[in-house]
Amino acid sequence: MTFMDAMITPPVRRRGRPPKNPEGRLETRELLLRAGVAALTEKGFAATGLDDILGRVGVPKGSFYHYFDSKETFGAALIERYGAYFAGKLARHFDNTALPPLARLHAFIDDAKAGMARYAYQRGCLIGNLGQEMGALPESYRAQLGEVFADWQGRVAQCLEAARAAGEIAADADCRRLAAFFWIGWEGAVLRAKLEHSPLALDIFTEVFFAGLPRR
């Protein structure tokens, strides 16, 4: 059963109780979220089976609904989790005042590239993956995905604004527009890198993006 099959099939309440220990309950929920993120970054939403995720953490299917009300709720939690995780990654690099602003953006890119290489380019961006599948997803995800992209885009814009203030790019640079262009291009490059199992698309996008920044 894929996630979309499960979306349109009412959950069957089965016997089984959640752990009495609240810490155990939280731990199982966390394991389900981690397994879900891994699966969706690899396969996407429609191709991921619920049994695949449950099998990764050893949770019986009948117990799933002790942790999430529905598959739609689970998917929303995955979007929230991944969005916050990646926002934290951006913050770690962009808050690093030991580096000039553009170097911070370079550092984030290098970190993200290393992350893809670590998994042999089999994992992409969960948010980007879901965005491509939006026609087959619950409509409630549209606004949630948009909010995540808006948050990431705003963080890159702030980094570019710092670069503008430091004189690294032109004083009249439209940082919000440049940040939007960055994420449009970066998500496409991530998709291509995953397709080709190669960092070439990431390298090309990075080179062209920085070369195209308006200079003083």
pLDDT digits (tens, 9 = 90+) for 98-118: 999 999 999 999 999 999 999
CA–CA gap between residue 102 and residue 41 (Å, rounded): 28
pLDDT digits (tens, 9 = 90+) for 128-166: 989 988 888 889 999 999 999 999 999 999 999 999 999
SS3 2: strand
pLDDT digits (tens, 9 = 90+) for 48-94: 778 888 888 888 877 788 888 888 898 999 999 999 999 999 999 99
Structure confidence at residue 9 (pLDDT): 36
CA–CA gap between residue 7 and residue 116 (Å, rounded): 29
Determine the average pLDDT of the residues in 180-209: 97
The per-residue pLDDT of the chain, averaged, comes to 86
Note the pTM of the prediction, 2 decimals: 0.82
pLDDT digits (tens, 9 = 90+) for 2-30: 443 433 333 333 444 444 444 445 588 88
Structure confidence at residue 171 (pLDDT): 97
Structure confidence at residue 135 (pLDDT): 86
Please say whether the beta carbons of 72 and 7 come within 8 A. Answer: yes
pLDDT over 90 (residue 191):
yes
Structure confidence at residue 26 (pLDDT): 54
Structure confidence at residue 25 (pLDDT): 52
Please report the domains of the chain, with CATH numbers, ordered by start residue. 3-70 (1.10.357.10), 72-211 (1.10.357.10)
Q: Which residues contact 180 (CB under 8 A, 6 or more apart)?
A: 153
- Six-digit token string for 64: 């799933």
Please say whether the beta carbons of 40 and 78 come within 8 A. Answer: yes
Q: How confident is the model at residue 185 (pLDDT cuts 50, 70, 90)?
A: very high
Structure confidence at residue 84 (pLDDT): 92
Please say whether the beta carbons of 140 and 76 come within 8 A. Answer: yes
